[in-house]
Amino acid sequence: MGIRRAARCTFALAATTLLASAAMAQEVRTIQPGMTEGEVKGVFGEPRGTAARGSFTYYFYDNRCEPECGFPDLVIFRNSQVVDAVLRAPWHEYGGESSSPKGTVPRPTPGGMRLQIPGAVEAVEVRPAPPPVAPAEPDTVVADTAQADTARADTASIR
């Protein structure tokens, strides 16, 4: 009985820890304009990816709706300070004015990863596009100089 009870306690402790960590992951976390990259990492955690161009740095975060939203959550920095954020995850919030319209509801992106096929279709074959065809060269006329001289001579003798 002692081993079974210890196993049950260990399982209960593991389940409680898992539920607590899941609840913490879903806790709403808010970033503000002007926060530094380090401060954003302290609130949202390490980004899934980053990019930089000129004075701008971009942090990408998982939002679990990329197939429908079309893009991960995005935090935009200029000179290492938050200037914008486009967030779809309910646990990510931006305290500033986002360039993404407020109230925008995530929806499937037309032409995205999902293809709707009518029920009557049994199969679809996807082929790569054919390679581009090089434009035809214009026809070039190469004159035979011997024939041209003979033709001129014939014309001159007729006159």
* Band of pLDDT at residue 148, cut at 50, 70 and 90: low
For residue 20, the model assigns a pLDDT of 43
For residue 23, the model assigns a pLDDT of 44
Instruction: Spell out the domain ranges in the chain.
Output: 28-97
For the chain, the 3-state helix, strand and coil shares in percent, each to the nearest 5, are: 30, 20, 50
Could you tell me which residue, 26 or 84, shows the higher pLDDT?
84
Q: How far is the C-alpha of 82 from the C-alpha of 97, rounded, in Å?
A: 11
> Which residue has better confidence, 65 or 19?
65
Stated pTM of the model: 0.51
Place of tokens 């980053």: 50
How much is the pLDDT for 103? 65
Residue bearing tokens 């029920």: 119
Check if the beta carbon of residue 73 is closer than 8 Å to that of residue 87. yes
Average pLDDT of span 116-130: 67
Residue 131: band (very low, low, confident or very high) from pLDDT cuts 50, 70, 90: confident
The class of domain 28-97 in CATH terms is: alpha beta
Q: Is the pLDDT of residue 60 over 70?
A: yes
Average pLDDT over the chain, rounded to whole?
A: 74
Whether the pLDDT of residue 33 is over 80: the answer is yes
Query: Which residues are bridge partners to 59 per DSSP?
Result: 50, 75
Give CA–CA dist 4/1, Å, rounded: 5
Average pLDDT on 1-24 reads 53
- Report the C-alpha gap between 89 and 28 in whole angstroms: 9
Question: In 10 A of CB 59, how many CB atoms?
Answer: 23
pLDDT band with cut points at 50, 70 and 90 for residue 129:
confident
What is the tens place of the pLDDT at every residue in 72-104? 999 999 999 999 999 989 999 999 888 876 666
